[in-house]
Chains A and B, each alone.
Chain A
């Protein structure tokens, strides 16, 4: 067999790739027959509910479980993070931390059991204020979180006798003195939660010493080791399954401590366990994204090109006390001179975890707002200022791509027609309108992925891969790639994913999955096809490199009469199925996938200056992604990302009570998320010149979820002429900013 050269079919030859293909499991999801972890009911299962700590910072002194144990239907009370009799008190640092689990015959009995637990707490002083840096410093709740400085080489080097920091300070001040325009501002974005609609959790049971877990996870292939470590068994004794997952967004990579608790209770009771967090617990401990607040000073030349950036930002990631990573400040833009510093604030909250495009949305929202304020100060067009500053960005090779994308987006939102200087638009009653921009970047390298492909002598095709479909359409992409390669209809291939017993495939995080499965499935299918071509070539007495697979048959290129049906071709395999396992390792150089995308978003908003309510009129997203695999699901990813951006820009925020530290809006009636009527008109444009297509597959999940917040914040500023500094831009914050500006 000749060595296989991996490649994608040319655009005009592709039947499935790049087309609009409906997701294969759409009907199951739409009619409620898709079984999620929460939906799997095992015979004799017990339901577990847990008591979440009602205090942000306390010691748990003792637990009296006797009344809970007497509740009809309660089978077991199990300590999670609470002392047993005679044990030392346990310190708790976050509202919602799970203390005691109750296993019962029904949800209602488990909930009643939890309500009967009597816990003695010793309250400790809590601290939750992440906005006020001085207050945190006074309480010794801060930690250095990195920083650095880079100055243009033309400024020279400090002399041997100079104090380096003093020299740098002097140079920075000189740069500001030379600047035609100086902008000073403060900006911020609150903590939000992942708020997965299917809460974190599992339905699991033991089969002898073997743990079988249905887990709501983004990491099917690699959570077994987390169970094994905690339960002192080996990873080969754990099977993890997840056919469907009800949202993850970066928060579902591990078994989590409540997952280990479920396995322990299953062992103790000898019964299957279903343990998923309540809504309140999902918001409190299921995952959150760090906040970020910033003091910025920037200096620009007469053209509005930023020459010096100086910033200090802070925020909280919970009790481990970090903030948004300092490496991306200012975001995408990179002036020749910059100094930046970050401080983490230790608050009594659950530590944050990865959130769709970790660090990027916050960095974008609190730095590209300063660039827009430069445009406001100059009384210039924001689009011109963004375009001019493309001469100084962190990936200079992308500046033409950004320029082109900004031009496309401007056309789609009709920028020239609707643009007015900040605060200078027409007013209709109390309503003013405005435009704003954000730009973003992402890597999106394909993750490692292996695929076992089996071709049966009767022509049946089945694949096995330990990946997962978060709703991005992974399952459908697997089938598309196999069917495209083998020249078969999409329903002729049986795709199996969602089990740790299948060949390894990497976790779905960082926009790595479509690239991963495209790599593994294309490779396996091309290798299988090469073997089948050899068999057919022998039979038809033609060279194998003259064969092609299409329309369910293998034929000689240019001679349609010399062909064999797929079924006939497979009968040549012999009596055993033909099996190939492809292996793709992340980072391997490949013609099938690559990384690094740009992207821009624009927003047009209306602000009611009497009520402070912001409405989205229109948003435009322009996005490159290399080779588009499934046009339909790719478009959905971007629509969804725009709506998530609207959520964080206008609606959602974690609110802690400043006195008690309690997370007070942990139910969906007051943890506000946008509804269908809140989204305005959304326009998605794929930026895909042939040069992009030729790059192969690049992940798409994160990038469009980044710059919408900055675009909306800038549009509100353009509408009102007033900067509302902190996202979400709630009506109160808008009104406060308007009042402050009036004086």
Chain B
């Protein structure tokens, strides 16, 4: 949320705006708009934006209300980030924007125009998914991609985290099957092993 509020844009505002009609106008300051003319700008209806997703430049057609999650899942077919709780309280839609973990479900697509987005799908060669497999830190697996990205972001900030820090620092994600004990072991193995 800090990402959006720092730009004076809230999802609530967009949703309220979009409630009246698809083409509802909302005051927005997207990065693209800022590049052209600094300050606030009115964006309405459907517009095209580009973003760098997993290193590739991608174009999406979005309305002001369109979430990053919907763009990833429906336009780019990147379905690792999951729609579990649209208010972001499950962490299942965690992706990195500019290296920072955000919930794609509460991030408006316009707010990430021209930014770098990293999703779970790009972490195939990363040590985090491998540690999840080794420690069986997954059951049904629906929360797993969000957790993997959250762990990646956590380790970037705390490469030498203690167990206490890990227990305190990964509480933004929910797992219903109860894989927390395994996730904890996976993360401990990474701070110790790497």
Residue contacts A-B, CB under 8 angstroms, 29 given? A22-B133, A22-B134, A26-B133, A26-B136, A27-B124, A30-B137, A32-B119, A34-B141, A35-B79, A36-B79, A41-B77, A108-B18, A108-B70, A115-B19, A197-B90, A198-B82, A247-B142, A470-B139, A636-B136, A640-B139, A640-B177, A640-B178, A644-B178, A667-B89, A668-B84, A669-B89, A675-B172, A675-B174, A676-B166
Q: A35 contacts which chain B residues (CB < 8 A)?
A: 79
Contact B84 A279 (CB under 8 A): yes
Whether the Cβ atoms of B89 and A676 lie closer than 8 Å is no
**Chain A, range 152-169, C-beta contacts under 8 Å to B:** none
Q: How large is the interface on A (under 10, 10 to 19, 20 to 34, 35 or more residues)?
A: 35 or more
Which A residues, 29 to 69, have Cβ-Cβ distances below 8 Å to chain B? 29-36, 38-39, 41
Question: Is A676's CB under 8 angstroms from B141's CB?
Answer: no
In the complex, what's the smallest C-beta–C-beta distance from A43 to chain B, in angstroms?
Answer: 11
Contact between A471 and B129, CB atoms less than 8 A apart:
no
A196: Cβ under 8 A from any B Cβ = yes
Q: Does A674 belong to the interface (CB within 8 Å)?
A: yes
Using known A-B contacts A38-B83, A73-B22, A676-B170, determine if residue A682 contacts B181 with beta carbons closer than 8 Å.
yes
Q: Verify if A633 is at the interface (C-beta below 8 Å from B).
A: yes
* Binary contact readout B119-142 vs A (1 if CB under 8 angstroms, 0 otherwise): 111011000111011101111111
**Which residues of A come within 8 Å of B, CB atoms?**
22-23, 25-27, 29-36, 38-39, 41, 71-73, 106-109, 112, 115, 195-198, 244-249, 278-279, 470-472, 632-633, 635-637, 639-644, 647, 667-669, 673-677, 679, 682
- Please list the residues of chain B having a beta carbon within 8 angstroms of any beta carbon in chain A: 18-19, 21-22, 63, 65-66, 70, 73-74, 77-87, 89-90, 92, 119-121, 123-124, 128-130, 132-134, 136-145, 148, 166-168, 170-184
Q: A26-B132, A632-B136, A676-B183 are in contact. Are A32 and B80 (CB under 8 A)?
A: yes
In the complex, what residues of A have CB within 8 A of residue B85's CB? 279, 667-669
| Nearest chain B CB to A623 CB, angstrom units | 15
A470 and B171 form a contact (CB under 8 A):
no
Q: Are A676 and B92 touching (Cβ within 8 A)?
A: no
> How many A-B residue pairs lie within 8 Å, measured between CB atoms?
188
| CA–CA, A226 and B78, complex, Å | 32
The reply to whether B170 and A677 form a contact with Cβ atoms under 8 Å apart is yes
Who on chain A is nearest to B22 by CB?
A72
A35, B176: Cα distance in complex, Å: 19
Q: How far is the CB of A54 from chain B (nearest CB, A)?
A: 17
Q: Which residues of B sit under 8 angstroms from A470, Cβ to Cβ? A: 139-140
Q: How far is the CA of A279 from the CA of B134 in the complex (A)?
A: 31
Q: Is B176 a contact partner of A196 (Cβ separation < 8 A)?
A: yes
CB contact between B144 and one of A30, A39, A675, A679 (< 8 Å): that residue: A30
> Judging by beta carbons under 8 Å apart, are A668 and B79 in contact?
no
Partner of A633, one of B136, B167, B181: B136
Contacts of A682 in B (CB 8 A): 181
Alpha-carbon distance A348/B73, docked complex (angstroms) = 36
Q: Note all chain B residues with C-beta closer than 8 A to A108.
A: 18, 63, 65-66, 70
Given A33-B80, A39-B79, A668 contacting B87 (CB threshold 8 A): yes
- Distance to closest chain B CB from A429 (angstroms): 20
Of chain A, the residue at the smallest CB distance from B65 is A108
Pick the most buried of A109, A636, A675, A676: most chain B CB atoms within 10 A of its CB. Answer: A676
> Complex formed: what's the CA distance from A27 to B137 in Å?
11
Indicate if the CB atoms of A30 and B82 lie closer than 8 Å: no
Minimum CB distance partner of A194 in chain B: B176
Whether A676 lies near B123 (C-beta < 8 A) is no
> Of residues B92, B130, B176, B183, which shows the largest number of chain A Cβ atoms within 10 Å of its Cβ?
B176
Q: Which residues on the A side are within 8 Å of B128 (C-beta)?
A: 30
Neighbouring A residues of B86 by C-beta, 8 Å: 278-279
B residues near A647, Cβ cutoff 8 Å: 178
Nearest residue (CB) in B for A637 is B139
- Please name the residue on chain B nearest to A248 by beta carbon: B140
- Interchain CA distance A115-B18 in the complex, whole Å: 11
Cβ contact within 8 Å between B148 and A247: no
Structural contact, B133 and A23, CB atoms closer than 8 A: yes
Contacts of B183 in A (CB 8 A): 676
Pair B181/A643 contact, Cβ less than 8 Å: yes
Q: Are B143 and A107 touching (Cβ within 8 A)? A: no
Kindly list the 9 A-B residue pairs having the minimum CB-CB distance in the complex, ordered from nearest: A32-B80, A643-B178, A246-B142, A29-B141, A471-B139, A640-B178, A471-B140, A39-B79, A26-B133
Compute how far the CA of A409 lies from the CA of B157 in the bound complex, rounded to whole angstroms. 38
In the assembled complex, which residues on chain B have CB atoms less than 8 Å from the CB atom of A637?
A: 139
The answer to whether B176 touches A673 (Cβ under 8 A) is: yes
**Option from B22, B138, B175, B184 in Cβ contact (under 8 Å) with A26:** B138
User: Are B171 and A668 in touch, CB under 8 angstroms?
Assistant: no
Residues of A within 8 A of B22 (CB): 71-73, 109, 112
Contact A31 B84 (CB under 8 A): no
Instruction: Chain B residues near A39: list those with CB within 8 A.
Output: 73, 79
Query: Given the complex, which residues of B lie within 8 Å of A195, measured CB to CB?
Result: 176
**A197 to chain B: closest residue by CB:** B142
Rounded to whole angstroms, the CA-CA distance of A677 and B164 in the bound complex is 9
A667 to B66: give the CA distance in the assembly, Å. 21
User: Which B residues touch A248, using CB under 8 A?
Assistant: 140
Select which of B65, B81, B144 is within 8 A of A29 by beta carbon. B144
Tell me which residues across on chain A come within 8 A of B174, comparing CB atoms: 197, 668, 673, 675
- Contact A676/B178 with A31-B145, A246-B140, A246-B142 known, Cβ cut-off 8 Å: no
Q: Which residues of A contact B66 (CB under 8 A)?
A: 108
A246 to B66, CA, bound (A): 25
Beyond A25-B141, A637-B139, list 13 extra A-B contacts (CB 8 Å): A22-B134, A26-B138, A29-B141, A32-B119, A34-B141, A197-B140, A198-B84, A246-B141, A247-B142, A471-B177, A636-B136, A647-B178, A677-B168
- Chain B residues with CB under 8 Å of A641's CB are 178
A33 to B80, CA, bound (A): 6
User: Could you say which residues of chain A place their CB within 8 Å of the CB of B124?
Assistant: 27, 31
Which A residue's beta carbon lies closest to that of B138?
A29
Contact A676 B167, beta carbon cutoff 8 Å: yes
The listed residue (A33, A73, A109) touching B121 by CB distance below 8 A is: A33
Chain A nearest CB from B71 CB (Å) reads 11
Complex: how many Å from CA A676 to CA B22?
40
B19, B144, B168, B170: the one within 8 Å of A112 (CB): B19
Given contacts A38-B82, A107-B70, contact A27 B133 (CB under 8 A): yes
Q: In the complex, what's the smallest C-beta–C-beta distance from A475 to chain B, in angstroms? A: 11
In the assembled complex, the Cα of A115 lies from the Cα of B181 at a distance in Å of 41
Q: How far is the CA of A167 from the CA of B58 in the complex (A)?
A: 82
Known: A635-B136, A640-B179. A36 touches B142 (CB 8 A): yes
Given the complex of chains A and B, what is the CA–CA distance between A196 and B120 in angstroms?
A: 21
Determine whether the beta carbon of B120 is less than 8 Å from that of A31. Answer: yes
Q: Which residue of A31, A247, A636, A679 contacts B80 across the interface (Cβ within 8 Å)?
A: A31
B-side contacts of A106, CB under 8 Å? 70, 74
Kindly list chain B residues whose C-beta atoms are within 8 Å of the C-beta of A107.
70, 74
The reply to whether B181 and A471 form a contact with Cβ atoms under 8 Å apart is: no
Write the chain B residue with the least CB distance to A116: B19
Q: List chain A residues, Cβ under 8 A from B74.
A: 41, 106-107
Cα separation A30 to B137 with both chains bound (whole Å): 9
Contacts of B145 in A (CB 8 A): 29-32
Measured CB to CB, the nearest residue on chain A to B139 is A471
User: Which residue on chain B has the smallest CB distance to residue A683?
Assistant: B181
**Residues of the A chain whose Cβ atoms lie less than 8 Å from the Cβ of B21:** 72
Residue pair B181, A679 in contact (C-beta under 8 Å): yes
Greatest chain A CB density within 10 A among B18, B124, B167, B180 is at B180
Residue of A nearest to B95 (CB): A32
B134 closest partner in A (C-beta): A22
Q: What separation, in Å, do the CA atoms of A197 and B92 have in the docked complex?
A: 9
> Is B129 within 8 A of A31, CB to CB?
yes
Looking at A29, A32, A635, A677, the one whose CB has the most chain B CB atoms below 10 A away is A32
A45–chain B nearest beta-carbon distance, Å: 9
Nearest A residue to B62, CB-CB: A108
Q: Point out the residues of chain B lying under 8 angstroms from A27, CB to CB.
A: 124, 129-130, 133
Of B130, B134, B177, which one neighbours A247 at CB under 8 angstroms?
B177
Residue of A nearest to B180 (CB): A676
| Cα–Cα, bound, A387→B90 (Å) | 42
